Homo-oligomer: A and B are copies of this chain.
Amino acid sequence: MPSERRYVITLTCPDTTGIVARIAGFLAGAGGWIVEAGYHSDVDSGWFFTRQVVRADSLPFEVDELRRRFAEVAAELGGQATWTVTDTGVPKRAVLLVSKEMHCLHDLLGRVAAGELPVKLEAVIGNHDALEGVVRAHGVEFHHVPFPAGPDGKAAAFAEMGQMVDKYQPDAVVLARFMQILPPWLCERWAGRALNIHHSFLPSFVGARPYHQAHARGVKLIGATCHYVTADLDAGPIVEQDVIRVDHGDTVADMVRRGRDIERLVLARGLRWHLEDRVLVHGNKTVVFR
C-alpha cells in the first residue's frame, strides 16, 4: 500500500471531446503529479468514466480546496456529471454484518490486521453471537442483534441494525455471508455502499442453496460473486467474480468447503476496490479501474 498520502478523483459524465484534456489540464495547472489514471469511454451508453490518483504533496492546497476547484471543472461537464474526491490519509470506515458462517469474517479480520485493506473496521453486527469472541480478540466492537422469527421481529431487528450501522457513517456495509435479505428501505439507504458476497457465479443459481443447485446441474466450475445490494435479490451491479474447478467427485459438502476459498477472495477483492474508489456504478453495471 502506498505510504504517501494521495487524493483519488473519480468522475462519471456523458462522453464528449476534451474531458481528459480538461481534467489533466486542471491537475497540471495546479502542479499535480498523477500516479495512476484510468479512463473508460463506453461506446454503447455514450458515458465517460475516469479515476485519477494524485500525490497529495504535489498540490499546494488541501483536499477541501481540491474538492472546491474540481467541482468547478465537473460543473463545466454538464449537470449529469457525478464525482468524488477522497483523501487516502483519511481511512474509510466499514461495518460488517455476519451470521454464523465465519470464513469471510476471519479472512477480513486477518486482512485488516495485516494492513492489507485501507479501512477502519468500526464494528461487526451479528444476528447470532457465535462470532463475538474472535471479533473482540481483534479489538473490534461486536453487536448482537437477534432476529426473531416472524416478519414483525425481523422488521424490528432491521430497524435496530440500521440505526446501529448508520451511527458509524460507514463507507462500506459488508454482508459477509449475512444470510438475511435486506429490506428495500435499507437497500435504498445503503445504495452503492452495501456489498454482498453470493456463493454462486451469478446470474446462475440465484437465491438459496446455490451449491445444491450447482451440484444438481452438474456444472464443472463453481463460483462466487461480489455485488452491490439492491432491492432485487442477487441482481445488483457485479463488482467481482471468480470460479474454481469441481468434478463429479465433489459432494455438496465439498463444494461448500471449496467454494469458501473463492468467496473469501472475491469479497476481499471487491471490498478493496470499493474502498480504493476503483468501482464506478452506472445503471446496473460497474466500471472497475483495477
Contact = CB atoms under 8 A, between A and B. Distances in A.
How many copies of this protein are present in the complex? 4
A104 B203 CA distance: 26
A285 interface: yes
A209 interface: no
Contacts of A80: none
A256 B20 CA distance: 29
A241 B221 CA distance: 7
Sort chain A's interface into a size bin: 35 or more
Given A41-B35, A134-B137, A218 B260 contact: no
Interface string A14-54: 00011011101101110111111101111110000100000
A114 B137 contact: no
Contacts of A32: 17
A186 interface: no
A221 B249 contact: no
A284 interface: yes
A290 B92 CA distance: 30
A47 B173 CA distance: 39
A218 B286 contact: yes
Interface string A232-261: 000001111111000111010100010011
Main secondary structure of the interface of A (DSSP, over half): mixed
A248 B286 contact: yes
A113 interface: yes
A217 B241 contact: no
A110 interface: yes
A102 B106 contact: no
Q: Which 10 pairs show the lowest CB-CB distances between chains A and B?
A: A106-B110, A137-B137, A218-B285, A21-B28, A21-B24, A18-B28, A20-B24, A248-B287, A220-B241, A37-B39
17 contacts: A17-B32, A17-B33, A18-B28, A20-B27, A21-B29, A24-B25, A34-B41, A35-B43, A36-B39, A49-B248, A103-B111, A103-B114, A114-B260, A204-B204, A221-B223, A247-B290, A248-B288
